[in-house]
Chains A and B, each alone.
Chain A
Amino acid sequence: MSAWRFFLEHRAEILGATANHLTLVLIAMAFAIAIAVPLGMFIVHRPTLRNFALAMASIFQTIPSLALFGFLIPIPFIGGIGRRTAIVALVLYALLPILRNTYVGLTGIDPAVLEAAEAMGMTESQILWRVRLPLARAVILAGIRTATIITIGVATIAAAIGAGGLGTFIFRGVAMVSDAVILAGAIPAALLAIVADLLLGWVERRLRIV
């Protein structure tokens, strides 16, 4: 069976899986941003916590994704089979790029600008909100962009623990030894990643100063 015919015959199902996939990614990204950006702001002036937080986020990234899904299943409240577990795993994966870019963006600011801000009598929190954060936003968004691309890819594996999404076709295709079925999951996932990359790249350029 050709891939094209499979696409046409299953277009409703593929569209549904794409929507499901996108929902997984959006929920996971919302949580990851809500955790990593404030955490990044919090660790700017706290070196001990900074090292710990960045190390933890790095460790999550080194765990193979399928293993991470597996590890989470037996954990009470966040674990089990299904969407919730998948979202937890995706959030853990997305943390590092966002956290690291937030931190790098907030600290990589022209020292003359920070010195001037301090000498003008701005408080530490005024410097953070009015100087560091606006100047770091393009770098932070670059981290969100990277994390989104990663999450779109990793979310295909979430099908292995029953979370649905485009991975459903990929796993089914592997089991059936059918390229057409694999492509029905892989092509929409790749398209999602490309569109997200272009869109966020455009926003990032708009946010860049100078």
Chain B
Amino acid sequence: MNPKTVPEYLHPTIQFQNVTYSINGSVHHTLVSGIDLSVDSGQTLVLLGRSGSGKTTLLKLINRLLVPTDGQVVVRDRPTIEWDPIQLRRGIGYVIQEAGLFPHFTVAQNVALVPSLENWDAARITARVNDLLTLVGLDPAQYASRRPHELSGGQRQRVGVARALAADPPILLMDEPFGALDPVTRAELQREFNALAKRLGKTIVFVTHDLREALLLASRIVLLEKGRILADATPQEFPRIDHPEVRAFTASLAPLSGVQI
């Protein structure tokens, strides 16, 4: 849990260097283009944008689920194409919408996945699973042996976060992790996650289309439109940027007119 336990050689930095990604290399299906972006260690960078703006594509370029058509993505001082994808991914936590938990595994087995792939001994895995479940607010005695379908959406997402943190990766990628939750549960998880992120000191890249969420969690907001970066600002500066797309997002925060509370 302590950031000091991260070895020096795992210095977490992500750099996009003039990155373009097109489906099958076709210029007609370019999803992101000319991306230059550097994520500093310990930062929570939020990629904000509408559906189809290229946020998820950027995320998948980091853990090499996708490979750039042009340019390169450097993770921990090495381009992703030079990394063994398995080793690269084991050092990067990944949380997605609906959690993507393994339905045939118990909660404990889900959380233990990466440690068991890394051949940790059983006692260490058990201790780690208990620590993590406690960390995400699930009592291990009550939840460790349950299956994902026996949990609520919010609980599944907590397990998803615990699973991503299991091997203590220096980098955490999150793709609208709270997007499918009801508003009350979502706000609860956002608050807890915010506190957790500050404590863990991970480098986090977080994808969302919700400006409120971005303002709450980000140390830096990058706005994407049609595969390009439109704005790059702190949460304090962001709402004051004079750009139609920024105004469109800030307008989405305005209270509904005519609704009496």
Contact = CB atoms under 8 A, between A and B. Distances in A.
Given A126-B117, A210-B149, A118 B89 contact: yes
A177 interface: no
B169 to A, nearest CB: 10
A112 B100 contact: yes
A209 B104 contact: yes
B117 A112 contact: no
Give the contact-size bracket for chain B. Answer: 20 to 34
B65 A118 contact: yes
B96 interface: yes
B94 A116 contact: yes
A115 interface: yes
Contacts of A126: 117
A120 B118 CA distance: 11
A112 B96 contact: yes
B104 A121 contact: no
A115 B90 CA distance: 14
A120 B113 contact: yes
A194 interface: no
A135 B100 CA distance: 13
A120 B117 CA distance: 9
A134 B103 CA distance: 10
Interface of B: 63, 65, 85-90, 92, 94, 96-104, 113-114, 117, 147, 149, 163, 173
Interface of A: 110, 112-113, 115-123, 126, 131, 134-135, 209-210
Given A113-B101, A121-B87, A135-B102, 14 more contacts: A112-B100, A113-B103, A115-B65, A115-B100, A116-B96, A117-B102, A119-B65, A119-B96, A120-B113, A120-B114, A121-B86, A122-B86, A131-B102, A210-B103
Q: What 7 pairs between A and B have smallest CB-CB spacing?
A: A116-B100, A121-B89, A121-B90, A112-B100, A119-B94, A210-B149, A134-B104
